[in-house]
Amino acid sequence: MKTKWGVIGSGGIASRRTIPEGVAKASNAELTAVYDVDEEANLRVAEKFGAQACASEEELLASGCDIVYIATPANLHCGQAIHAAHAGKHVFCEKPLGLSIEESQRIIDACAKYSVKLGVGFMMRFHSYHQAALKIVREGRLGTLVLARAQLSCWYPPIAGAWRQNPQQGGGGSLIDMGGHCIDLLEMFFGPIRKVSCFIGNSVHNYASEDSAVVLMEFRNGAKGIVDACFCIPDDSSKNRLELYGSSGSILAEGTIGQGEAGEMTAILPDANLDYDAQQMRREGNILRIQPLPVNTYRAEIEAFSSAVLDGGESLVGAAAGLWSQKVLAACYESARTGLAVELPESE
């Protein structure tokens, strides 16, 4: 049995990645309808994947799909998600869930009211390297968790009409767009954040949203973290590194953070109970090359949400993840605005 997916916002990431790599190849999903304000782009997607090209959101909601994937600019998520929930459709929404905590809560409330499931597109959680690293962390092989870093940067020059460069449409720039993924990943490994200090600005590009961001964080377990996300570093110059450090070792990766399924990852797990070495010699022993089978993250997230719909289970990345991410990002932007560290609530 397969779920029937309708897509609102069939251009952009939906046509580049989520439809061809995710919905079209998922074992338990099929694309049935698409809608985009760009009629020509929408028709191309519909013809390529054998889906119904809809002329409006209303037509898509009446098309017979049972899941609506929302891949539009962030300022449209709230209204479109509530509309879909009211129509009895399960909702799978790209991050951020909304422009604000209040919008995210409205989406969650609507999905609960109409008894439909809600999923959020943090697809990097599904990367096979990240899952392998998570297993090592949960087994306690890093010892006491100390420090985590995640980096995601690209070259994103000014482009007319680019909604990610307009905070009124995207909610911000590199922080909310790419930093949100990095923060979510580090919390998957180290647990919830307690406090953030954030610095944002326009280092190179002069559009309205930030092109560079750094977040310093303290996790509830006492570990520290760093996220750097920039729209102003050439693609080939940034290795999109992931670094996890503990009292018993580390996990170091390059290229696993991003839209692909490749990368390299190494665990360095020295012998326990080492004495102090005044020379601080760096040795090459006890290096574990982590090489799991590749997993397409878009296919994995589509199959996971489809399984939840078909089996009646919980969404692996759902309402709680979307709302908490919004709270952390709001705290980051508040810190950047005030110059002060901002505490996160303890209730989650």
pLDDT at 50: 97
pLDDT at 278: 52
pLDDT tier, 58 (very low <50, low <70, confident <90, very high otherwise): very high
Q: Give mean pLDDT, residues 90-119.
A: 98
Place of tokens 């996790």: 219
DSSP, collapsed to helix, strand or coil, labels residue 348 as: coil
Give, in order, the Cα–Cα distances in Å from 199 to each of 96, 216, 239.
19, 9, 21
pLDDT tier, 65 (very low <50, low <70, confident <90, very high otherwise): very high
pLDDT at 270: 82
pLDDT tier, 272 (very low <50, low <70, confident <90, very high otherwise): low
pLDDT tier, 267 (very low <50, low <70, confident <90, very high otherwise): very high
Place of tokens 């251009």: 11
pLDDT at 286: 83
pLDDT (tens digit per residue) in 1-38: 999 999 999 999 999 999 999 999 999 999 999 999 99
pLDDT at 146: 98
Of 271 and 280, more confident:
271
pLDDT at 346: 84
List alpha helices for the chain, DSSP H. 13, 39-49, 57-61, 74-86, 101-113, 128-138, 167-170, 174, 180-190, 297-311, 319-338
Query: What domains appear along the chain, each with residue ranges and CATH number?
Result: 3-123+298-318 (3.40.50.720), 125-295+327-343 (3.30.360.10)
Structure tokens at 224: 């520290």
Alpha carbon 226 to its chain's center: 16
Alpha-carbon gap, residue 324 to 186, rounded angstroms: 13
Average pLDDT, the chain: 95
The full DSSP string for 29-52 is EEEEEEE-SSHHHHHHHHHHHT-E
Residue 215 confidence (pLDDT) above 80 = yes
pLDDT tier, 285 (very low <50, low <70, confident <90, very high otherwise): low
Residue 279 confidence (pLDDT) above 60 = no
Count Cβ atoms within 10 A of the Cβ of residue 134 and give its class: 0-12 exposed, 13-18 middle, 19 or more buried: middle
pLDDT (tens digit per residue) in 291-324: 999 999 999 999 999 999 999 999 999 999 999 9
pLDDT at 94: 98
Residue 48 confidence (pLDDT) above 80 = yes
pLDDT at 3: 98
Alpha-carbon gap, residue 327 to 184, rounded angstroms: 12
Give, in order, the Cα–Cα distances in Å from 302 to each of 37, 123, 173, 249, 296.
23, 9, 26, 34, 10
